[in-house]
Amino acid sequence: RENFRCFKENRIKGMIAIRNSVRTLIELQTEDYPDSEIKAEQERLNRLYDTFSGKYGLINSRANTSAFSQDSSFSLLSALEIIGEDGELERKADMFSKRTIKPHTPVTSVDTASEALAVSLGEKATIDMDYMMELSGKSENEIFEDLKGVIFLNPLYEYGNSYEPKYLMADEYLSGNVREKLRIAKKSAELYPEDYKVNVEALQKVQPKDLTASEISVRLGATWLPPDDVQEFIFHLLETPRYAQWNIKVHFSPFTSEWNIEGKSYDKGNVRAYNTYGTSRINAYKIIEETLNLKDVRIFDYIEDDEGKKKAVLNKKETAIAQSKQEMIKQEFQDWIWSDPERRERLCKSYNEKFNSVRPREYDGSHIIFNGMNPEIELREHQKNAVAHILYGGNTLLAHAVGAGKTFEMVAAAQESKRLGLCNKSLFVVPNHLTEQWAAEYLQLYPAANILVATKKDFETKNRKKFCGRIATGDYDAVIIGHSQFEKIPMSIERQRAILEQQLEEITGGIAELKRNRGENFSIKQLEKSKKSIKQKLDKLNDQTKKDDVVTFEELGVDRLFVDESHYYKNLYLYTKMRNVGGIAQTEAQKSSDLFMKCRYLDEITGGRGTVFATGTPISNSMVELYTIQRYLQYNTLVKNGLQHFDAWASTFGETITAVELTPEGTGYRAKTRFAKFYNLPELMAMFKEIADIKTADMLNLPVPEAKYHNIAVKPSEMQKEMVASLAERAEQVRGGGVDSSVDNMLKITNDGRKLALDQRMLNDMLPDFEGSKINACVDNIYRIWKENADKKSAQLVFCDLSTPKNDGTFSVYNDIRKKLIERGIPESEVKFIHEADTDMKKKELFQ
């Protein structure tokens, strides 16, 4: 035991010696010492490493990782080894033989104002006039005159706003909401024409072309429409009698984004309301109200079940008639809305002011210095521009294709932000299994960076407080943690309480407004339900007698958040009046709510400049995901445009489409409504591109191999055909209301259908193994490829999102495939499940 303790102690001493040598080497390169001194230290580092690895193995071995992983510099040491796919040392890092840090030599003088500007942007990330005067020897007025049209005086600075810079670059000033900027510039030019005439002239040249009525899609329910215009349309369409007009009023609630027609049952004798555009079951006023609230009209009959309880059953015939009336009303609205010249001019002006005022900014990162970056690595143009977007543009979404280099973009942005004083500490939130890989790439790009990397142990209950304390008290360039660890760092109870109380106040106001305007009972009940849920959360917070004394998110000192693979946070709760519409989920993930709260906090302390998302799949399943991204990164813009509620956003930019599609059980067709179409797309994208830096694979021309897809069709067994027929019978019973939802429902039927399509044994493991099944076809294919490529040792990845192995005795597709492959001669050691790699270390070994 004594020998073992001594052995471990010497192992740690050896790594400390290597660490000290690395730090010395970093210092020598940073301070630009002679090549001879740097070479001497590299030789010393080589000796130390060779001696250590000869005795104790690779630094990245399990034993050395276990012994030294708690040291904050372990990530730096592990980056000294370039590990191959087989887990063995491929080569030593460049630091052993090359300069990996290029010393920064600041410019001390320039000849022209334009050169001074370039240096100022590179060194200060802003127009620092005092610094430019010092560099060029020119006066402020001389520099400004030389750069007129390249830089502009900021009118907001003249209005006494100390948070605004005095001068702005042309690419910044002539982008964003240029209509609003023009109005401000004109006011300033009236007082100081010699200073602001150039602003007015430049802004006039970049004003978006006013959209005409034919270029604007406006539907009944668009929340930017004035209620008076909607009311006028109703009275025109239904020829509402004068006496009835006093009792029928259209209301719109900004809180719930809900339309309500007061007195919709008042005009009882109106043939146009109850026949031409309505039915005996639902009048036109109610149909219009449903349409305003983005709902398809549905007519239900109420019958008593065996227990005497009333149950709603869809009346298909009456629903079809009512929906045809709804389509007539929609078309009448389209014919009416632009027919009056005065109304057309007024609404076009309103739409252009609200949604056609933004000119996207083009970012240029060519001037960025990237002090401290590995000189062996050169960022591509699109990467430099992405860094510029993050530095100068505020909250950013890096929507770049796989292989575009998002990791280096975020790392470079974090380092430049710290160097330029734009942030103090960056927190990187990455998939759990990639924390070590992220650390290695971070140090590859910036070898001298001071980073802290979380391990799984750091967030165990007994260690969490200590690790969060290290984040809070350390002056790190960046901290790297996993997605699940991020959620374990809470916001303070005080802030959570304040947010919940604000939501409660808004909901209470919304309920009162709906009651005043005699809003729909369903909407009031939904809000009452939300109110109850928030009250329960508040009570839970207030009852926390045992306050967890872990460091809160606000106390970490983090003012820049980078979220890698941000699509994992797409399930952010939204409230909508739309019912049973595909593509709109109202499920909520706690991790998404937690991230949303932290984004709001960072917006508050950074002015909307503290959050960066990165993903190759910003929109994967539903158009709603675009709205969710805007809520995370562009919330204040949504509020400003009255689009913070999903229904307001959807009524302006999207539409629900009803189409015939295959039923879930696969035996027939049905009409299904989905949120699946965008309108006014140029205006939506102009707003979205304020935060989004979009680069597709086609735009980047990345050297990626072309995928070749082979769809292999297999025929079902007779047993599967019989079982599909039984699924159809079950579905018909559910649709007809003949079965309790706790016994059977469409979700259960759909799930059984998916299982059956994979393998009949998924529903009953006593059924025979059908020779022509998908599983057996897959096994044949895997074995054929293995045999053909045995000499190359090629790897195959097999994915199946159903029937994952659980080791509980139930049938599993995974186990069945492995058993059959082994029986055919593939060694058991060559067939691995990702599920078996249940620790970070096992995952690392498996991926190697």
* Whether residue 458 is found in the same domain as residue 347: no
Give the count of beta carbons closer than 10 Å to the beta carbon of residue 268. Answer: 9
Phi-psi region at 679: left, alpha or beta (left = phi > 0; alpha = psi -120 to 50): beta
Q: How far apart are CA 695 and CA 382, in angstroms?
A: 8
Q: Which of 72, 96, 120 is the last residue of a domain?
A: 96
Mean pLDDT on 182-190: 94
Three-state DSSP state, 241: coil
Residue 215 corresponds to which tokens in the numbers above?
A: 């270029």
Where residue 475 falls among pLDDT bands split at 50, 70, 90?
confident
pLDDT score for 308: 74
| 824 and 767 fall within a common domain | yes
Full domain range(s) for residue 463: 381-490+554-639+693-700
Does the residue 197 lie in any domain? no
Tokens 């699924």: give the residue: 727
Lookup: tokens for 610: 């503290």
Residue 565: Cβ-neighbour burial (10 angstroms; 0-12, 13-18, 19+): middle
User: Which residue, of 700, 728, 753, is where some domain finishes?
Assistant: 700
CATH number for the domain including 451?
Answer: 3.40.50.10810
Q: Do residue 773 and residue 801 come from a single domain?
A: yes
- Same domain, yes or no, for 724 and 839? yes
Predicted confidence band at 40 (pLDDT cuts at 50, 70, 90)?
Answer: very high
Beta-carbon-side half-sphere exposure of residue 379 (alpha carbons within 13 Å): 29
The mean pLDDT value of the chain amounts to 87
pLDDT tens digits, residue range 518-542?
A: 656 666 777 787 788 888 888 877 7
List Cα–Cα distances, 561 to 125, 446, 556, 597, 608, in angstroms.
19, 19, 12, 13, 12
Q: Using 50, 70 and 90 to split pLDDT, how confident is the model at 48?
A: very high
The pLDDT tens digits for 112-150 are 999 999 899 888 888 999 999 999 999 999 999 999 889
306-364: pLDDT as tens digits = 777 787 788 888 988 999 999 999 999 999 999 999 999 999 999 999 999 999 899 99
Of the residues 49, 65, 96, which one is the last residue of a structural domain? Answer: 96
DSSP per position, 319-362: HHHHHHHHHHHHHHHHHHHTTSHHHHHHHHHHHHHHHS-EEPPP
pLDDT tens digits, 477-505: 999 999 999 998 988 888 888 888 887 88
Mean pLDDT calculated for residue range 30-58: 90
How many domains, in total, are found in the chain?
5
Whether residue 116 is contained in a domain is answered as: no
Residue 667 has pLDDT above 60, yes or no: no
Measured between alpha carbons, how far apart are the two ends of the chain, in Å? 33
Same domain for 442 and 412, yes or no, is yes
User: Is 426 domain-assigned?
Assistant: yes
Claim to verify: residue 511 and residue 593 sit in the same structural domain: no
Residues paired with residue 299 on neighbouring β-strands, in sequence order: none
In a domain, 124, yes or no: no
Clarify whether residues 396 and 426 are in a common domain. yes
Residue 848: the pLDDT is 65
What pLDDT, on a 0 to 100 scale, did the predictor assign at position 493? 85
Residues 422 and 536 in one domain: no
Task: Decide if 424 is inside a domain.
Answer: yes
Residue 324: the pLDDT is: 93
* Within-domain flag for 843: yes
* Closest-CA residue to 350 (of 179, 176, 178): 179
Q: Please list, in sequence order, all residues whose beta carbon lies within 8 angstroms of the beta carbon of residue 823, skipping any fewer than 6 positions away.
A: none
pLDDT confidence bin for 621, thresholds 50/70/90: confident
Q: Model pTM?
A: 0.75
pLDDT surpasses 60 at 107: yes
Residue 386 sits in the same domain as residue 510: no
Is 212 a member of any domain? no
Rounded CA-CA distance 842/476 in Å is 29
165 against 844, higher pLDDT? 165
The tens digit of pLDDT for each residue in 791-827 reads 887 889 998 888 888 777 788 899 999 999 999 999 9
- In 3D space, the residue among 256, 250, 225, 143 whose CA is nearest the CA of residue 527 turns out to be 256
Beta carbons within 10 angstroms of residue 5's beta carbon: 9
Q: Pairing between strand 451-453 and 478-482?
A: parallel
760 has pLDDT over 80: yes
Determine whether 737 is exposed, middle or buried from the number of CB atoms within 10 Å of its CB (0-12, 13-18, 19+). middle
Same domain, 335 and 391: no
Residue 460 and residue 391 share a domain: yes
Same domain as 568, residue 449: yes
pLDDT at 752 over 70: yes
Geometric angle at alpha carbon 44, from 38 and 48, rounded to 5° = 145
**pLDDT tens track for 214-254:** 999 998 999 999 999 999 999 999 999 999 999 999 999 88
Q: Which helix (H) or strand (E) holds 228?
A: helix 227-238
Give yes or no for a contact between 279 and 321, defined as CB atoms under 8 angstroms apart: yes
Angle between helical axes of 284-292 and 227-238 (0-180°, round to 10) = 150
Which pLDDT score, from 0 to 100, does residue 50 have?
Answer: 93
Nearest-10 crossing angle of helices 590-606, 624-633: 40
In a domain, 343, yes or no: yes
SS3 411: helix
Q: Where are the beta strands (DSSP E) in 89-159?
A: 89-92, 151-153
CA distance 104 to 368: 12
Question: Is pLDDT of 609 > 70?
Answer: yes
